[in-house]
């Protein structure tokens, strides 16, 4: 984020606080509930969005060191993620090219050669087939090059490893182009590439992935839903947002932000007096707090269940002392406690869909970001 943007965003909040106004969209909008319950719609989201656009598979610090590997699942794909001797990350299908056994069963480690536990075929960490037991008699004229591991388009940028979750494609867009120049500038400003995971946990929530993302896009609910947790620290119903292609940045000002009008603007720092929420479609949100970043990774398990990885990302420059680790653990717990209030509401909303009591939901003028998010999803489905 450049300094002008930072000052501009703070001035916008001070101005709105002065006028005692929320950040308003021009009109209300309606969101048909078929978006969240139609199996056909879900299939289209998977094929046109989740299997066609860059999605984050891992944070870079999960795969450190030469010859490191990780096994993951994303949607229906078993994935083997390898960092080769040159430090390059590459994702492959974790499926043996002989008769399809799971090639690597361990969650992670360090290896140069991957040997299938079924008949012992092995591949090196460039994905090339290296050995086939009894090859001469059993597999005459085997074209080894045709039996390389199936790779997935992979890129590493801003401290994350991104893939296209589709072995049928080889195209990977430039990630900076995908997220857009403005968000790239922000991610460089916060040095996202130089962060590690201090805390991480995974929860499965019985809600459509879009209901979960929507939950973070407005502050209209803070005073009610979060009255016992975070509400006192944030301004009531104020969350300006900016759109960058399908992605967005939201500003969640702390109650202290309007007081900045009494101070010299050279001393203003947006991260001190606001949280920033980045939504990078389709699978991630990042809540940028004062000294760390909360990373939320959404993986649709089914139309009404989403797996969420929640992690505290911290700058590598902060020493890993017991005291700091305790601090991060405490932060993770505070954020998780507040977020579970949102996630529980999302699951209630999802279970309410079955009643068909609402043919659509209504987004008020405070909730414009939800409408924009859904419009971006529709656009991506249209291609
Ligand atoms: S299935 Fe892997 S070696 Fe046979
Ligand atoms: Fe919330």
The DSSP code for 194 is G
Q: CA quadruple 141, 146, 150, 151: dihedral positive or negative?
A: positive
CB hemisphere CA count around 63 (13 angstroms)? 28
Ligand 1, pocket-test mutation among 92, 115, 121, 149, most atoms within 8 A of CB: 121
Give the ligand at the shortest distance from the Cα of 101: 1
- Asked if 221 and 346 sit in the same domain, the reply is yes
The set of protein residues with a Cβ atom below 6 angstroms from ligand 1 is 96, 98-101, 116, 118-121
How buried is residue 300: exposed, middle or buried, by Cβ count under 10 Å (0-12/13-18/19+)?
Answer: buried
Distance 139 CA to ligand 1 centre (A): 13
Residue whose entry in the numeric block shows the structure tokens 């249209």: 382
**Residue 66 in this model has a pLDDT that exceeds 90:** no
Ligand nearest to the CA of 115: 1
* Domain containing residue 64: 55-172
Shortest CA distance to 58 belongs to which of 200, 183, 187, 211? 200
pLDDT by residue (tens digit) across 17-36? 999 998 999 999 999 999 99
Rounded to two decimals, what is the model's pTM? 0.96
Which residues make beta-bridge pairs with 69?
Answer: 82, 109
Tokens of 55: 């999605």
pLDDT tens-digit readout, 326-355: 999 999 999 999 999 999 999 999 999 988
Structure tokens at 71: 């096994």
The more confidently predicted of residues 100 and 86 is: 100
Whether residues 298 and 322 share a domain: the answer is yes
Q: Indicate if the alpha-carbon torsion angle 327, 333, 334, 336 is positive or negative.
A: positive
Nearest ligand atom owner, CA of 227: 2
Provide the token pair at 142: 């085997």
pLDDT score, position 85: 86
Q: Report residue 188 as tokens.
A: 């460089």
pLDDT at 78 over 90: yes
- The confidence score (pLDDT) of residue 354 equals 85
CA angle (26 as vertex; 21, 27 as ends), nearest 5: 110
For residue 126, the domain's CATH number is 2.102.10.10
- Write out the two tokens for 36: 């969240």
Ligand 1 atom closest to the Cα of residue 100 is 1
Q: Do residue 47 and residue 72 come from a single domain?
A: no
Name residues whose C-beta falls within 8 Å of residue 138's C-beta, 6 or more positions apart in sequence: 132
Among the candidates 140, 172, 204, a domain finishes at 172
The distance from CA 198 to its chain's CA centroid, rounded to whole angstroms, is 16
Are 232 and 259 found together in one domain? yes
What's the pLDDT band for 178 if we cut at 50, 70, 90?
very high
Three-state SS at 132: coil
What is the number of structural domains in the chain?
A: 2
74 in the same domain as 14: no
Question: Ligand 1, atom 3: nearest CA belongs to which residue?
Answer: 119
CA distance 83 to 111: 10
CATH number where 215 lies = 3.90.380.10
Measured by CA distance, the residue closest to atom 4 of ligand 1 is 119
Q: Atom 1, ligand 1: which residue's CA is nearest?
A: 99
- Do 197 and 336 fall within a single domain? yes
> Do 232 and 321 share a domain, yes or no?
yes
**From the CA of 21, how far away is ligand 2's center (Å)?**
20
Instruction: From 133, 153, 172, give the residue that closes a domain.
Output: 172
115 neighbors 121 (Cβ within 8 angstroms): yes
> Sign of the CA dihedral 10, 12, 17, 18?
positive
Ligand 1 pocket test, pick from 80, 101, 122 with the greatest ligand atom count within 8 Å of Cβ, gives: 101
* pLDDT, mean over the chain: 96
Kindly state whether residues 310 and 362 are assigned to the same domain. Answer: yes
């Amino acid at each position: 984020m450049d300094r002008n943007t930072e000052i501009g965003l703070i001035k916008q909040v001070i101005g709105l606080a002065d006028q005692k106004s929320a950040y308003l969209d021009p009109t209300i909008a309606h969101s048909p509930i078929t978006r969240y319950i139609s199996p056909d719609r879900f299939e289209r989201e998977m094929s046109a969005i989740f299997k066609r656009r860059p999605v984050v598979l891992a944070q870079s610090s999960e795969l450190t060191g030469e010859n490191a590997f990780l096994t993951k699942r994303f949607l229906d794909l078993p994935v083997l993620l390898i960092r080769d001797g040159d430090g390059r990350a590459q994702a492959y299908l974790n499926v043996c090219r002989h008769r399809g056994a799971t090639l690597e069963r361990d969650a992670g480690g360090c290896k140069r050669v991957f040997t299938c536990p079924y008949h012992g075929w092995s591949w090196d960490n460039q994905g090339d087939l290296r050995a086939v037991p009894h090859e001469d008699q059993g597999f005459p004229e085997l074209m080894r090059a045709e039996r390389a591991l199936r790779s997935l388009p992979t890129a590493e940028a801003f401290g994350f490893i991104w893939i296209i979750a589709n072995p049928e494609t080889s195209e990977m867009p430039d990630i900076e182009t995908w997220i857009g120049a403005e968000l790239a500038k922000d991610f460089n400003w916060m040095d996202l590439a130089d962060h590690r995971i201090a805390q991480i946990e995974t929860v499965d929530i019985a809600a459509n992935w879009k209901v979960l993302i929507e939950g973070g896009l407005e502050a209209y609910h803070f005073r009610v839903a979060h009255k016992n947790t975070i509400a006192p620290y944030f301004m009531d119903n104020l969350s300006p947002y900016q759109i960058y292609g399908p992605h967005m940045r939201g500003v969640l000002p702390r109650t202290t932000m309007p007081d900045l009008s009494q101070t010299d603007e050279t001393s203003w720092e947006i991260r001190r007096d606001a949280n920033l929420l980045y939504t990078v479609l389709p699978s991630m949100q990042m809540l940028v707090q004062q000294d760390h970043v909360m990373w939320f990774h959404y993986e649709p398990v089914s139309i009404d269940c989403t797996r969420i990885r929640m992690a505290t990302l911290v700058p590598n420059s902060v020493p890993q002392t017991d005291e700091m680790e305790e601090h991060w653990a405490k932060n993770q717990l505070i954020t998780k406690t507040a977020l579970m209030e949102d996630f529980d509401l999302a699951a209630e909303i999802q279970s309410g869909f079955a009643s068909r009591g609402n043919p659509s939901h209504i987004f008020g003028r405070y909730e414009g970001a939800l409408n924009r998010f859904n419009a971006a999803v529709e656009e991506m489905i249209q291609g």
